[in-house]
Amino acid sequence: MRIVFAGTPDFAVPCLQAAARHNEVVAVYTQPDRPAGRGRGLTASPVKQAALERGLPVYQPLSLRDPAAQAEVAALQPDLLVVVAYGLILPQAVLDIPTHGCWNVHASLLPRWRGAAPIQRAIQAGDSHSGVCLMQMEAGLDTGPVLLEQSLELAADETGGSLHDKLAALGAQVLADGLGLLRAGLRPVARPQPAEGVEYAHKLDKAEARLQWSEDAQVLERQVRAFNPWPVAEAQLQGERVRIHAAQAIPGVSGMPVGSVLAATKAGIDIACGTGALRLLVVQREGGKPVAAADYLNARRDLQVGA
């Protein structure tokens, strides 16, 4: 079988490794190198780095709408195109090239959380479960029929980072299962997605990371967990902007104005919210590193409880 793989970020690397296990990957597509780091030098994507380590040919077109780029894909004579967080739109002309079409590994239980940020949106919404779907791609955004899926339960302290890693590994497992069936001549049965339960996971925006103390503490805790490690929640804490890497919702009614510091101890810094309080556990000052609340308080002896 001749497989062409298309992916870009860390999430896609385990799937590339699974697809390449039987030496069937004939080419890897990934987004062009981008400026990164303090020096803003051009940096290869994680998928490109993994592909080069395996000695696989790498293609980096700016778009697949270009007829020349489409001809390049066709020349590879793929039996299957596997797409995992590639980041470029595949026009119908490309979807039609492989013998078995294009498969996509998506980090949600479709049709819930179609779109760009399914991992973070699941945590933010308070979902009890997430998972991955192996989907037959079509022109719509994550609308294709599902071939295989696996679910998992979200931990009470699940973060965007921890769920990312779990689903990346689970996605590789589901892809490997699908490829195993295809090699055996047992093509996975495509199940159309139900019309009910569709939710869109819109792309993350840095502006969303700003906490509003008027919100319910449970909502804010989920926001902190969902946006860790990016874009990281932030808020004003008695005149200073801090980033919040970990927090815990505390139930109850404080009777204090929202944003007030209710307690500041080694256990954390409790902030009055619209409902309940949010205990800040790990915070980061401008230009500093993430530290436990107790260490932050050593540098903020001016912090006034109830002010």
Q: If you write DSSP's letter for every residue of 250-301 in order, what string do you get?
A: E-S---SPTT-EEEEETTEEEEE-SBSEEEEEEEE-TTS--EEHHHHHHH-T
Q: What is the CATH number of domain 3-201?
A: 3.40.50.170
pLDDT of residue 305 exceeding 80, the answer is: no
Q: Residue 304: what pLDDT?
A: 63
pLDDT of residue 138: 95
| pLDDT bracket for residue 307 (50, 70, 90) | very low
pLDDT tens figures, 142-183: 999 999 999 999 999 999 999 999 999 999 999 999 999 999
Return the CATH number of the domain spanning residue range 206-299. Answer: 3.10.25.10
Residues placed in the known binding site: 108-111
| Cβ proximity of 153 and 176 under 8 Å | no
Longest Cα–Cα distance of the chain, Å, equals 70
Tokens 């380590």: give the residue: 53
Q: Where are the domains of the chain?
A: 3-201, 206-299
Confidence of residue 41 (pLDDT cuts 50, 70, 90): confident
Binding site per annotation, positions for (6S)-5,6,7,8-tetrahydrofolate: 108-111
The 10s digit of each residue's pLDDT in 223-278 is 999 999 999 999 999 889 999 999 999 988 778 999 999 999 989 999 999 999 99
- Confidence band, pLDDT 50/70/90 cuts, at residue 306: low
- pTM of the entire predicted model: 0.95
